[in-house]
Amino acid sequence: MYLTEKDVRGIATYARIGLSDAEVAAMTVDLNSIIENLKPITEYDLRGVEPTFHPIAGLSNVMREDRVRSGFTHDEALANAPAEQDGQFLVPSILGDAGGDR
């Protein structure tokens, strides 16, 4: 067992996913099973092996000229917002009930 339910609750908080008690229990079983299958990674002799963070070696970034381009308009950027007010993204109170209008 790699993870307890308490660990899973901590991970969920970090990932900003609200899980119910039943979901935490099921997730704990699933994650332990998956992590067990990752074991080969821990068993290789990797001394002196450099990591590869990107699949294609020896390529350079593609850069464009540093020139101003038009992007989304204000309306386009807000078009998919679940809630907006005065041309801005609207969120609930950050500081709790005292924080103002919802």
11 near another protein, rule: CB under 8 A: yes
Tell me how many residues contact another protein (CB under 8 A).
Answer: 57
Burial class from Cβ neighbours inside 10 Å (0-12, 13-18, 19+) for residue 89 reads exposed
29 near another protein, rule: CB under 8 A: no
Residue of 80, 87, 100, 101 that binds another protein (CB under 8 A)? 80
Ramachandran area for residue 91 (φ above 0: left; ψ -120 to 50: alpha; else beta): beta
- DSSP-based three-state secondary structure for 89: strand
70 near another protein, rule: CB under 8 A: no
Helices within 1-102 (DSSP H only): 5-14, 21-36, 74-78
**Interaction site with another protein (CB under 8 A):** 3, 7-8, 11-19, 27, 30-31, 33-35, 37-42, 44, 46, 49-57, 59, 61-64, 72, 76-77, 79-83, 89, 91-97, 99
